[in-house]
């Protein structure tokens, strides 16, 4: 299949492009580079040996999106392009709703117009809110009270309604748990700008000496050791989950959790990272972070039964690959604040 990957220069999108190419598909990337770098396209080529057509466009711009559909015959779209910082979404709700909802509607509109009938959407476990664990797809949603989570729940609703009204349009809503790690080459990975919000990139930056110590947000939760528990999933497993979702997409709307089904605490992750990489992660315990919940992990059985997909990489691989990317010389070119990038338009 030939797949349009929006946000394909980003963290999960770039790994998914590699997994799609590995599985024999071809990809076209559309990204405005608001949270990624054009060099990632070169890295993807280095890994796969394939040229990837790249459109430096904003997918909230229908005219720009339409050009991609006119210039390429496509079998499906995977829509990663979105803004994802929970805290920033509280400060800039309009920016988040506009970007995340309008991009989804523009892409769906182009798909319907050009007869592209497969649509895979990046949703998030955040839509479950503070539910009972494990989170299962049939649960009533309680998006956390932030515009980011709401934008994911609303996008799910919009795509579901469109699919119901257009029976040939098939939608897969993928709810990711906590993606971590990097491609095993060390060439692509997670390179956040500024101070990382998420645990694993913060840990790798402490290991690299870029940050003095990890701050653990609370050790008084009702969990195994008092620290928050999450379902960390290797980004290449997640990427392969997209390939499975695309290849097994049936008519209608289908929702899948993409997680491992296992919970890991912050302290367990820190220990695993230290052991896997032979480095020390100094930390201090501080106050709980506002909006955090004690624990969540997936019931991952539906994806296994219906897609034949299951996460296979363990916590050691996640820690080792995250550190390989952070510590490899190649990463240096990707990290730091984003400057102006020169992009040749496809
Ligand atoms: P990322 O920021 O690395 O990638 C997103 C990409 O989309 C970036 O390259 C960015 O430049 C691009 N983009 C954003 N808005 C755009 C627009 N209007 N037009 C064109 N390009 C645009 O983030 P990621 O971690 O790879 O996340 C990908 C998707 O998965 C997002 O939708 C995110 O909400 C979702 N998700 C991520 C996580 C996570 O923990 N990383 C968890 C659940 C869901
Ligand atoms: C994991 C654990 C923290 C940083 C977020 C979004 C969610 C999804 C994934 C997009 C928690 C603790 C963290 C630190 C810490 N993204 N922690 N010190 O909060 O589960 O999910 O990213 O959809 O929507 O909310 O992930 O990596 O931030 O935190 O102690 O410096 O690590 O308290 O227990 P989270 P995270």
d(CA 6, CA 10): 9
Residue nearest to atom 22 of ligand 1 (CA): 81
Q: Could you identify the atom of ligand 1 that is nearest to the CA of residue 33?
A: 11
Long-range contacts of 149-153 (CB under 8 A, 24+ apart): 149/86, 149/124, 150/97, 151/82, 151/89, 151/96, 151/97, 151/100, 151/101, 152/100, 152/123, 152/124, 152/126, 152/127, 153/127
pLDDT at 346: 39
**221 carries an active-site annotation:** no
Residue pair 191/37 in contact by the 8 Å Cβ criterion: yes
Tallying the residues shown for the chain, one arrives at 346
For residue 216 and ligand 2, the question of a CB distance below 6 A is answered with yes
Tell whether pTM > 0.85: yes
* CATH class assigned to 2-337: alpha beta
Q: Could you identify the atom of ligand 2 that is nearest to the CA of residue 200?
A: 27
pLDDT single digits (tens) 271-282: 999 999 999 999
Q: Could you identify the atom of ligand 1 that is nearest to the CA of residue 84?
A: 34
Could you tell me which residues are beta bridge partners of residue 233?
179
Point out the catalytic residue in the list 148, 202, 232, 297: 148
Q: What is the mean pLDDT of residues 215-244?
A: 98
User: Which region holds residue 73: left if phi is over 0, alpha if psi is between -120 and 50, else beta?
Assistant: beta
Residue 332: pLDDT over 80 = no
Q: Could you identify the atom of ligand 2 that is nearest to the CA of residue 176?
A: 23
Residue nearest to atom 18 of ligand 2 (CA): 216
Domain range list for the chain: 2-337
Residue nearest to atom 5 of ligand 2 (CA): 198
Q: Where are the beta strands (DSSP E) in 203-303?
A: 214-217, 229-230, 232-234, 253-258, 264-265, 283-286
pLDDT single digits (tens) 43-85: 999 999 999 999 999 999 999 999 999 999 999 999 999 999 9
Residue nearest to atom 4 of ligand 1 (CA): 10
Residues with CB under 6 A from ligand 1: 6-7, 9-13, 31-36, 58-60, 80-84, 99, 103, 122, 124, 176, 179
User: What is the 162 CA–ligand 2 centroid distance (Å)?
Assistant: 32
pLDDT, averaged across the chain: 94
Residue in 240, 229, 269 with CA at minimum distance from that of residue 135: 229
Residue nearest to atom 19 of ligand 1 (CA): 58
The ligand that comes nearest to the alpha carbon of residue 107 is 1
pLDDT at 142: 82
d(CA 198, CA 186): 19
């Amino acid at each position: 299949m030939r797949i349009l990957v929006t946000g394909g220069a980003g963290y999960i999108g770039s790994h998914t492009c590699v997994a799609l190419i590995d599985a024999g598909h071809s990809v076209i990337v559309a990204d405005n580079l608001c949270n990624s770098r054009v060099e990632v396209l070169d890295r993807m080529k280095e890994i796969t040996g394939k040229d990837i057509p790249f459109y430096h466009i904003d997918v909230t711009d229908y005219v720009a999106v339409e050009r991609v559909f006119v210039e390429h015959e496509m079998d499906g779209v995977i829509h990663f392009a979105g803004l994802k910082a929970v805290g920033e979404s509280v400060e800039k709700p309009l920016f988040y709703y506009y970007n995340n909802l309008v991009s989804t509607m523009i892409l769906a509109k182009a798909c319907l117009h050009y007869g592209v009938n497969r649509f895979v959407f990046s949703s998030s476990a955040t839509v479950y809110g503070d539910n009972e664990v494990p989170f299962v797809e049939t649960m009533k949603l309680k998006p956390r009270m932030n515009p980011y989570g709401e934008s994911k729940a609303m996008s799910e609703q919009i795509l579901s309604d469109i699919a119901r009204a257009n029976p040939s349009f098939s939608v897969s809503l993928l709810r990711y748990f906590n993606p971590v790690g990097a491609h095993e080459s060390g060439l692509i990975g997670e390179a956040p700008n500024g101070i990382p919000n998420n645990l694993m990139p913060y840990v790798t930056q402490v290991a690299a000496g870029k940050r003095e110590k990890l701050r653990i947000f609370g050790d008084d939760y009702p969990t195994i050791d008092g620290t928050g528990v999450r379902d960390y999933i290797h980004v290449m497993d997640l990427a392969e989950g997209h390939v499975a979702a695309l290849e097994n997409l049936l008519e209608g709307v289908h929702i899948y959790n993409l997680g491992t089904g296992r919970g890991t605490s912050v302290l367990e992750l820190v220990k695993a990272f230290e052991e896997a990489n032979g480095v020390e992660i100094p930390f201090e315990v501080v106050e709980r972070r506002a909006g955090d919940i004690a624990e969540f992990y997936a019931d991952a059985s539906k994806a296994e039964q219906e897609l034949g997909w299951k996460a296979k990489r363990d916590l050691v691989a996640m820690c080792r690959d995250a550190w390989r990317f952070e510590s490899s010389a190649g990463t240096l070119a990707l990290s730091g604040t984003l400057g102006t990038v020169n992009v040749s338009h496809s």
